[in-house]
């Protein structure tokens, strides 16, 4: 999804009836009539924008798949062929996986730990029926601490079961079952969760400790993995472009894909066992470590503190 909230290097965004380029926005470039008390007020506002973007997109896409012509004034198609491609497509919009990297991972935690945003003054978006959540190297600082924790559905499940489309609303009982499968006896929404952390973010000790606590408290189907020899940008395809990429970066991308598909294609908790990972046909070797490798000093940061790395090699992952 292209977020038009000032977090991309650039995008084209509508503004006062015209389309204009929007470049990356820095905190220092923002002025406030009355500055909020949040530690990162711009990022908090951008999270709110992203929530609306995700819910609006899901709403419109669900209607489109089920041939609802009332998509809303903000949905446009360049050609009729593109629109017709998705009409009545064989897509299950009641069984969703959300995935995101960095601030995108933060966005997904925000979606799953808060109530839906308002469509209007008196109406919330229906909750998105998320069954699987794949988060890559999340950045947690814009989120309130302690937390995040799964949003409590007590008292709101009945109002959230109907998915957006009128056609789906006619089957609200079955929709309710889909959501109730993901809600435990306390009313909390526990989607399956896999977090793949880079070595760099795992070595960010205070941030990693918070993340580990979040995953631990998320639910029985939550897992946290560290990918050895990876950086925050290892999850991007930037490092595999011609003339820029290298074999190590390609291997890391292959491992990320292997772990992600193993998680998504196997609902059992054993998906992260070496036996299950070896049984696929990708021929991408992965070795699981069950304890944190030794941390060694490799230099100094600008503030004089020690820089570290974990002892290991590409292909090894730590299951926390």
pLDDT greater than 60 at residue 164: no
pLDDT digits (tens, 9 = 90+) for 252-296: 999 999 999 889 888 766 667 666 676 566 678 888 899 999 999
Nearest to 66 by CA among 92, 29, 42: 92
Confidence of residue 69 (pLDDT cuts 50, 70, 90): low
Which of 175, 190, 205 is a domain's end point? 190
Same structural domain, 86 and 146: yes
Could you give the CA distance from residue 214 to residue 149 in angstroms, rounded to a whole number?
7
Nearest to 259 by CA among 238, 280, 240: 280
Provide the token pair at 51: 């929530």
Q: What is the helix (H) or strand (E) element at residue 285, kind and residue range?
A: none
Whether 245 maps to a domain, the answer reads yes
Own/partner pairs, 83-87, CB within 8 angstroms, 24+ separation: 86/61
What is the pTM for the complete model shown?
0.82
Whether 271 maps to a domain, the answer reads yes
Same structural domain, 46 and 170: yes
Could you give the CA distance from residue 313 to residue 229 in angstroms, rounded to a whole number?
6
DSSP E strands, 32-169: 96-101, 118-120, 123-124, 130-136
Whether 10 maps to a domain, the answer reads no
Whether 159 maps to a domain, the answer reads yes
Could you give the CA distance from residue 75 to residue 19 in angstroms, rounded to a whole number?
15
Same structural domain, 100 and 181: yes
Whether 242 maps to a domain, the answer reads yes
Domain limits for position 141: 40-190
Same structural domain, 179 and 248: no
Which of 190, 221, 255 is a domain's end point? 190
Same structural domain, 305 and 172: no
Judged by average pLDDT, the poorest of 11-15, 134-138, 195-199, 246-250 is 11-15
Q: How many domains does the chain have?
A: 2
């Amino acid at each position: 999804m292209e977020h038009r909230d000032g977090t991309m290097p650039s995008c084209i965004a509508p503004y006062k009836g015209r389309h204009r380029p929007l470049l990356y926005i820095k905190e220092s470039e923002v002025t406030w009539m009355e500055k909020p008390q949040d530690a990162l007020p711009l990022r908090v506002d951008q999270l709110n924008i992203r929530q609306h973007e995700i819910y609006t997109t899901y709403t419109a896409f669900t209607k489109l798949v089920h041939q609802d012509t009332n998509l809303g004034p903000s949905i446009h198609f360049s050609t009729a062929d593109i629109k017709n491609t998705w009409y009545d497509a064989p897509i299950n919009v009641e069984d969703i996986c959300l995935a995101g990297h960095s601030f995108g991972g933060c966005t997904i935690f925000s979606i799953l730990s808060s109530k839906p945003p308002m469509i209007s003054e008196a109406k919330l978006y229906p909750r998105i029926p998320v069954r699987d959540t794949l988060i890559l190297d999340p950045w947690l600082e814009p989120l309130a601490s302690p937390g995040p924790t799964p949003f409590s559905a007590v008292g709101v499940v009945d109002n959230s079961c109907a998915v957006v489309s009128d056609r789906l609303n006619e089957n609200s009982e079955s929709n309710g079952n889909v959501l109730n499968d993901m809600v435990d006896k306390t009313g909390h929404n526990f989607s399956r969760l896999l977090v793949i952390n880079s070595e760099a973010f795992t070595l960010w000790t205070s941030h990693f400790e918070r993340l580990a606590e979040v995953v631990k408290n998320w639910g029985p189907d939550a897992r946290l993995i560290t990918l050895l020899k990876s950086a925050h940008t290892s999850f991007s395809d930037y490092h595999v472009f011609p003339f820029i990429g290298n074999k190590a970066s390609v291997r890391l991308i292959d491992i990320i894909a292997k772990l992600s598909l193993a998680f998504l294609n196997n609902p059992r908790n054993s998906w992260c066992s070496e036996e299950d990972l070896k049984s696929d046909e990708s021929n991408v070797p992965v070795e699981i470590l069950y304890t944190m490798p030794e941390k060694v000093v490799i230099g100094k940061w600008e503030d004089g503190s020690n820089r570290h790395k974990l002892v290991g090699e590409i292909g090894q992952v730590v299951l926390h």
